[in-house]
Chains A and B, each alone.
Chain A
Amino acid sequence: MRLPPRDGERIDRDDPIEFSFSGKPVMGFRGDTIGSALFASGRRVFSRSFKYHRPRGLQCCNGHCANCQMTVDGIPNVRVCTEPVRAGAVVNGQNFLGSLDRDLMRATDRFGGPFTPPGFYYKTFIRPRRMWPLYEKILRNAAGLGKLDEQGARSERVEVEHRHVGVVVIGGGQAGLEAAIEAAERGESVIVVDEGPEVGGSLLADRDGVATARGLESRARAAGVELLAPAIAIGLFEQNLVPVAAGNTLLKIRAHRVVVAAGVVEQPLVFPGNDLIGVMLPEGVRRLVNYWSIKPGSRAVVLTADDRGLAAASDLEAAGVEIAELVDFRKRQPPNIEASGRRDRVHQVGIHGKWIGCDLVVMSGSPQPNYKLLAQAGARVEYDTARGIFVPTDLPPHVEAVGGTAGDVGEPAVPAPVLGHRGEKCFVCFCEDQTTKDLKYAIAEGFDSIELSKRYTTVTMGPCQGRLCHVNSIRVYAKANGVDENTIGTTTARPPYAPVSMGLAASRPQEPAKRTSLHHRHKDLGGKMMWTGAWRRPHSYSDDPGDEAQHVHEALGLIDVSTLGKLLVTGPEAGTFLDRLYPNRFSDLKVGRIRYGVLTTDSGRIMDDGTVARLDDETFYVTTTSTGADGVYQWFTWWNAVWQMEVELANLTGALAAVNVAGPNARTVMERVSHDDFSNEGLTYLDARHVRVAGVPTLALRIGFVGELGYELHFPSPHAEHVWDTLLERGVDLGARPFGLEPQRILRLEKGHVIVSQDTDSESNLLEAAMPWIFKADKDDFVGKWATEQVAERGLKWMLAGFESPTGRIPLEGGQIVVGGKSSGRVTSARRSAELGKVIGLAIVPVGLAVEGGRFDVVIDGKPVEMRVHLGPFFDPEGARLKA
């Protein structure tokens, strides 16, 4: 099958590579693609068409058409004509019942014609109505291309990378590389992206094109051009944003200038039998011969509208293929052309009634400028009637087109499409199996606008994204409606330009996980790490978080709270600034004292909470929730930009570590590691003091989120491990142990302390989150005051309330509350408390139920289970333990 070794061939015959197809070994050479190796091994059937399951073979060999889609290593819909061979690859055909060569679904082609007109789903198969579920099941099974391997789930990392360059050149063919070299030599930074496995574009189809391509490539590299291939520009967005799919990376390139050098897409001719195996586009044939040294047939008919067909004919002759007939439409246009097949392959071509035997047909319609990206960017396209192509015009600023894309395609003369046909089907859209008959049918039904027809017939909506059928469908429409192509117009060009895997579309920006400076200590201590937003934090250090919580009640626990947001607000107007942001007052907070604060938005919704400590007259230390840190900092800086107050803001979140030391033995351990006064009088509840802990300058906040005597220590991050280790070592006989987030959640729930975004949602306001005491209505204006007043005026509907579960069953967080058979609120938190010997929780309930002794049902496993309302803290309501 292979030709004798030739100059310029791409394959390395000394480097054979074996892979499997349908379980059988196939040999190729380095430089082959899976498609070329299969073709060389004698395979002609590459896929089964979408609707009729017609056998299809190689057509374009450059990734444009969808005829060679196979499943490679479990990934469906891989175009094997451009997929390089690799040793051990497992390749299989797809979309058949039986085998690729004998597909039982082929019956739809032979007998299904009358039953599968456009929109057949909604016509033939809709009656009787009650049968639709059955039809649907069958149709769903028959539809779609390829199958995902649900068992062998793949795990891949996909990332987004941002790039900024002077020029991005889309397309690495001759025109693109020349433009890139010119720009780079002028000193601009240049990236070239090309969808092929290597740059070169259609040069790679030329007999000596590989050498020219390599020459241009090395000149480009020497000039400092960055070449990316395979890399597909999937869109061209405003301000020259070009997303590029490059393997497992989605590059988002912003360029000062975009040069589109995407070349042309060779168009099929529209004649009966144009999808038979052996009917190919000229570049496909030329790549087989010149690139991979394969003889694609023995007797060929060439039908061409331009020089491309002539070049293919010349290459075929050089490879020993007989040219049985050559029709150059620029010289003569025979009134009808048709092809007929035998055993699924093209067997003869009829030219105006004269039948010519052949096993290969080269068809070259007009080479259509590949303008899709330009149209996405806002360029207009106009139909050039003489040449039968759409040419882009009115390019947006900073976007250029060069080469074939710009319309530099010579003077092709394309014959009018054949409309009526007997015998073989006459395809307009290969991917979706749409024939000229189907389009005529759609027009007769009233779908005479191209946009409507596209949706109805799905023409241009297949995996080739209209590359091979867009122009032809418009020409068929124009001819059938008796108008010109500009009247029909084009359909909107939308991203993506080529199919993009869902994984790539969902790829995440490079936002690495955040770790606290105690991360390795947690791992050494057996902490089970979990995600909390971007942070990695220990869930617990044992299998029994309840026991960890109990230990804090009984002895001493340490929790890493370095993730808390930490802002320093300084300046003469710092107090007033906070008064305007918070519903409660901070300007009257005494130096060295702490007050709890909740932030609300303009609409009065709870945004975040934390503590505010006054360090001196002009300095406040503000903590936020872990996930709210960035948002609150932005919120503060924005209001400061708006108000222009004499306030400075500094975000110390990463600079400072924080550890909460809690439990009845907390004071004893602090007195061991510090010379400062930690007595109840020296550092009383809600005091803030600068101290030294283990020699490290520390801000100690006496607060009690977990309900026991506790000190939240904030100190420079570099000392975190030292402070942590010292506390554990010196507290060893006091029972010092770390505790994780889960025990902390139990402990705070015992106190009825709210976690913003767990017990509140985007609708929660101060009054209905049971925090009326924080709303100082007599205060001057603050953000959210107006809205909160309106809530008071309209009356409360909901209330966040505590509850106990008398049956001991634990409702799910988010569990529905049912009152009188109606859904009325939900559970926000629920845990078993060993300390209390009860199941407790928080829930958003109708305000009328939020009274001591109120009862409501929560659905657990489909059945209502009674809960009893409990107002206030469950544990130590007077706070005696906190203040001890």
Chain B
Amino acid sequence: MRELNEYIYFRDNEAGIQREWWFCRVCEDWFLAERHTVTHEVLRTWLPVLPAPQEALAESGDA
């Protein structure tokens, strides 16, 4: 149960650079972004590519 809760609910609340999923409501594409959560500066963005990077799965936080 504890593991499950950690998987579902717990996210690192990084004060710094964080990798996030973003959804473009215009073109309806999902993309990844590296964003500084303090300055809100977006460092880079990229489309997910084959094969799925394992760390992306692990960091499936909300945009």
> B52, A644: Cβ atoms under 8 Å?
yes
- How far, in whole Å, are A477 and B58 apart by their CA atoms in the complex? 53
Interface code A564-606, partner B: CB below 8 Å = 1, 0 otherwise? Answer: 0000000000000000000000000000000000000011000
B48 in contact (CB, < 8 A): yes
Scan residues 4-41 of chain B and give those whose CB is less than 8 A from a CB of chain A. Answer: 4, 7-9, 21, 23, 28-30, 39-40
> A638, B21: Cβ atoms under 8 Å?
yes
A643 in contact (CB, < 8 A): yes
- How far, in whole Å, are A786 and B6 apart by their CA atoms in the complex? 12
B60 in contact (CB, < 8 A): yes
Interface code A794-837, partner B: CB below 8 Å = 1, 0 otherwise? Answer: 10000000000000000000000000000000000000000000
A-chain residues with CB within 8 Å of residue B57 when the two chains form the complex: 642
In the complex, how many angstroms separate the beta carbon of A827 from the nearest chain B beta carbon?
Answer: 29
> B8, A602: Cβ atoms under 8 Å?
yes
> B28, A787: Cβ atoms under 8 Å?
no
Contact of A239 among B4, B8, B40, B60 (CB under 8 A): B40
Q: Known interface pairs A787-B8, A790-B1. Does A644 touch B30 (Cβ–Cβ under 8 Å)?
A: no
Interface residues on chain A, number (Cβ under 8 Å): 17
Scan residues 621-638 of chain A and give those whose CB is less than 8 A from a CB of chain B. Answer: 633-634, 637-638
- How far, in whole Å, are A602 and B21 apart by their CA atoms in the complex? 16
Contact of A644 among B7, B23, B51 (CB under 8 A): B51
A238 in contact (CB, < 8 A): yes
Q: Known interface pairs A239-B40, A634-B23. Does A641 touch B30 (Cβ–Cβ under 8 Å)?
A: yes
- How far, in whole Å, are A239 and B7 apart by their CA atoms in the complex? 32
Interface residues on chain B, number (Cβ under 8 Å): 20
> A790, B4: Cβ atoms under 8 Å?
yes
Q: Known interface pairs A602-B8, A787-B8. Does A638 touch B40 (Cβ–Cβ under 8 Å)?
A: no
- How far, in whole Å, are A651 and B25 apart by their CA atoms in the complex? 13
> A642, B50: Cβ atoms under 8 Å?
no
A-chain residues with CB within 8 Å of residue B40 when the two chains form the complex: 238-239
B-chain residues with CB within 8 Å of residue A239 when the two chains form the complex: 40
In the complex, how many angstroms separate the beta carbon of A785 from the nearest chain B beta carbon?
Answer: 11
Contact of B48 among A644, A787, A790 (CB under 8 A): A644
- How far, in whole Å, are A76 and B25 apart by their CA atoms in the complex? 39
> B30, A638: Cβ atoms under 8 Å?
yes
In the complex, how many angstroms separate the beta carbon of A744 from the nearest chain B beta carbon?
Answer: 30
Interface code A209-220, partner B: CB below 8 Å = 1, 0 otherwise? Answer: 000000000000
Q: Known interface pairs A642-B57, A786-B4. Does A637 touch B30 (Cβ–Cβ under 8 Å)?
A: yes
- How far, in whole Å, are A576 and B41 apart by their CA atoms in the complex? 38
> A238, B52: Cβ atoms under 8 Å?
no
Scan residues 756-810 of chain A and give those whose CB is less than 8 A from a CB of chain B. Answer: 786-787, 790, 794
A-chain residues with CB within 8 Å of residue B4 when the two chains form the complex: 786-787, 790
B56 in contact (CB, < 8 A): yes
Contact of A786 among B7, B39, B50 (CB under 8 A): B7
B-chain residues with CB within 8 Å of residue A786 when the two chains form the complex: 4, 7
Q: Known interface pairs A637-B30, A638-B23, A786-B7. Does A644 touch B39 (Cβ–Cβ under 8 Å)?
A: no
Closest B residue to A601 by beta carbon equals B8
B-chain residues with CB within 8 Å of residue A638 when the two chains form the complex: 21, 23, 30
Scan residues 606-663 of chain A and give those whose CB is less than 8 A from a CB of chain B. Answer: 633-634, 637-638, 641-644, 651
A-chain residues with CB within 8 Å of residue B29 when the two chains form the complex: 637
In the complex, how many angstroms separate the beta carbon of B59 from the nearest chain A beta carbon?
Answer: 10
> A643, B7: Cβ atoms under 8 Å?
no
Closest A residue to B31 by beta carbon equals A641
A-chain residues with CB within 8 Å of residue B39 when the two chains form the complex: 238
> B8, A642: Cβ atoms under 8 Å?
no
In the complex, how many angstroms separate the beta carbon of A645 from the nearest chain B beta carbon?
Answer: 9
- How far, in whole Å, are A258 and B23 apart by their CA atoms in the complex? 27
In the complex, how many angstroms separate the beta carbon of A257 from the nearest chain B beta carbon?
Answer: 16
B-chain residues with CB within 8 Å of residue A644 when the two chains form the complex: 48-52
> B23, A602: Cβ atoms under 8 Å?
no
In the complex, how many angstroms separate the beta carbon of B1 from the nearest chain A beta carbon?
Answer: 6
- Among A239, A634, A638, A786, max chain B CB count under 10 A is at A638
In the complex, how many angstroms separate the beta carbon of B21 from the nearest chain A beta carbon?
Answer: 7
- How far, in whole Å, are A238 and B42 apart by their CA atoms in the complex? 12
> A603, B8: Cβ atoms under 8 Å?
yes
In the complex, how many angstroms separate the beta carbon of A652 from the nearest chain B beta carbon?
Answer: 13
B-chain residues with CB within 8 Å of residue A238 when the two chains form the complex: 39-40
- How far, in whole Å, are A77 and B23 apart by their CA atoms in the complex? 42
- Among B8, B9, B23, max chain A CB count under 10 A is at B8
In the complex, how many angstroms separate the beta carbon of B32 from the nearest chain A beta carbon?
Answer: 9
- How far, in whole Å, are A787 and B7 apart by their CA atoms in the complex? 10
Q: Known interface pairs A602-B8, A787-B4. Does A642 touch B60 (Cβ–Cβ under 8 Å)?
A: yes
Closest A residue to B21 by beta carbon equals A638
> A602, B7: Cβ atoms under 8 Å?
yes
In the complex, how many angstroms separate the beta carbon of B5 from the nearest chain A beta carbon?
Answer: 9
Closest A residue to B28 by beta carbon equals A637
> B48, A642: Cβ atoms under 8 Å?
yes
- How far, in whole Å, are A633 and B29 apart by their CA atoms in the complex? 11
- How far, in whole Å, are A196 and B52 apart by their CA atoms in the complex? 55
In the complex, how many angstroms separate the beta carbon of A45 from the nearest chain B beta carbon?
Answer: 48
In the complex, how many angstroms separate the beta carbon of B39 from the nearest chain A beta carbon?
Answer: 7
- How far, in whole Å, are A330 and B38 apart by their CA atoms in the complex? 45
A-chain residues with CB within 8 Å of residue B21 when the two chains form the complex: 638, 641
B-chain residues with CB within 8 Å of residue A643 when the two chains form the complex: 52
- How far, in whole Å, are A763 and B29 apart by their CA atoms in the complex? 29
B-chain residues with CB within 8 Å of residue A641 when the two chains form the complex: 21, 30, 48
A-chain residues with CB within 8 Å of residue B28 when the two chains form the complex: 633, 637, 651
In the complex, how many angstroms separate the beta carbon of A826 from the nearest chain B beta carbon?
Answer: 25
- How far, in whole Å, are A637 and B28 apart by their CA atoms in the complex? 8
Closest B residue to A641 by beta carbon equals B30
- How far, in whole Å, are A651 and B23 apart by their CA atoms in the complex? 15
In the complex, how many angstroms separate the beta carbon of B30 from the nearest chain A beta carbon?
Answer: 4
B-chain residues with CB within 8 Å of residue A787 when the two chains form the complex: 4, 8
B-chain residues with CB within 8 Å of residue A634 when the two chains form the complex: 23
Closest B residue to A605 by beta carbon equals B8
Closest A residue to B63 by beta carbon equals A638
A-chain residues with CB within 8 Å of residue B23 when the two chains form the complex: 634, 637-638
In the complex, how many angstroms separate the beta carbon of B9 from the nearest chain A beta carbon?
Answer: 8
In the complex, how many angstroms separate the beta carbon of A315 from the nearest chain B beta carbon?
Answer: 47
Closest B residue to A241 by beta carbon equals B40
- How far, in whole Å, are A590 and B46 apart by their CA atoms in the complex? 38
- Among B21, B28, B29, max chain A CB count under 10 A is at B28
- How far, in whole Å, are A603 and B1 apart by their CA atoms in the complex? 11
- Among A239, A637, A638, A641, max chain B CB count under 10 A is at A641
> A642, B7: Cβ atoms under 8 Å?
no
In the complex, how many angstroms separate the beta carbon of A510 from the nearest chain B beta carbon?
Answer: 13
Closest B residue to A633 by beta carbon equals B28
In the complex, how many angstroms separate the beta carbon of B58 from the nearest chain A beta carbon?
Answer: 10
- How far, in whole Å, are A644 and B9 apart by their CA atoms in the complex? 24
A-chain residues with CB within 8 Å of residue B8 when the two chains form the complex: 602-603, 787
In the complex, how many angstroms separate the beta carbon of B36 from the nearest chain A beta carbon?
Answer: 11
A-chain residues with CB within 8 Å of residue B48 when the two chains form the complex: 641-642, 644
A-chain residues with CB within 8 Å of residue B51 when the two chains form the complex: 644
In the complex, how many angstroms separate the beta carbon of A394 from the nearest chain B beta carbon?
Answer: 14
Closest A residue to B47 by beta carbon equals A641
Scan residues 382-409 of chain A and give those whose CB is less than 8 A from a CB of chain B. Answer: none
26 A-B pairs whose Cβ atoms sit less than 8 Å apart in the complex: A238-B39, A238-B40, A239-B40, A602-B8, A603-B8, A603-B9, A634-B23, A637-B23, A637-B28, A637-B29, A637-B30, A641-B30, A641-B48, A642-B52, A642-B56, A642-B57, A642-B60, A644-B48, A644-B49, A644-B50, A644-B52, A786-B7, A787-B8, A790-B1, A790-B4, A794-B1
Apart from A642-B57, A644-B52, 9 more pairs, CB < 8 Å: A603-B9, A638-B21, A638-B30, A642-B60, A644-B48, A644-B49, A790-B1, A790-B4, A794-B1
B interface residue numbers (CB < 8 A to A): 1, 4, 7-9, 21, 23, 28-30, 39-40, 48-52, 56-57, 60
The 10 closest A-B pairs by CB, nearest first: A641-B30, A238-B40, A644-B52, A603-B8, A644-B50, A641-B48, A602-B8, A638-B30, A790-B4, A786-B4
